[in-house]
Copies of this chain bind each other. A is one copy, B any other.
Amino acid sequence: MTRQEERRAQTRAALLDAGAALFATRGIAGASVDAIAEAAGRTSGALYDHFGSKEGLLFALLESWVDAATAAVAAEQAAATSLDEWVAAMWRAVSDPPDGDGRWIALEHELWSYANQSDEARRYLARRYAAAWDAIDAVTGPWVEHPAEATRVGPAVIALLFGLEMMRRVDPDVVTDQLAVAALRGVLAGTAVPTT
């Protein structure tokens, strides 16, 4: 990789990271192009050369996250040796993400709200979630048996994880780890049957 290509790649990564941070903290509409560029140590000219528009940066951000999200789920699979352990690990990954602060949940909601106004964004999100649902289904395969297609485990588990994190943001004390784990186990029991 030549020095020009290397610098370009660094700039792109910095812009994506700054975009994620500012979209999460100030909202997609509230984060200005100039502020994002400045946070990345560049100017708006660089952003437009890389992504063409503010929405272009947003879509690039969605693409770059596909791997990160499903990879996080797969990583927990290797570590956990029982369903209870896996449930606890999944909740830890959501409530206390390795990302540092909990900015990714805020960003996820920003994307969700934006998807309500843009069909293209909705399709991006749909692809991301479909992959995550499949990953959950695959990971829980060894422990539970999936009955009919109508009661998939993946969507239910991810729905509860997101909802619990929402409640925790509103009132951190009410969603204890104990509550989260109990609810997650309940959902699993409700949507699948344990394999002996």
Contact = CB atoms under 8 A, between A and B. Distances in A.
B117 A113 contact: no
A159 interface: yes
A170 B122 contact: yes
Task: Provide the main secondary structure of the chain A interface.
Answer: helix
Copies of this chain, whole number: 2
A151 B174 contact: no
Nearest to A180: B156
B179 A160 contact: no
A133 B190 CA distance: 22
Counting chain B CB atoms within 10 Å of each CB, the highest count among A151, A156, A191 belongs to A156
A126 B169 CA distance: 9
A115 interface: yes
Contacts of A170: 112, 115, 122, 125-126, 129
Interface in A161-196: 161-164, 166-167, 169-171, 174-176, 178-179, 182-191
Contacts of A74: none
11 contacts: A25-B117, A27-B113, A109-B116, A126-B171, A129-B171, A133-B174, A155-B174, A158-B167, A159-B175, A162-B162, A183-B187
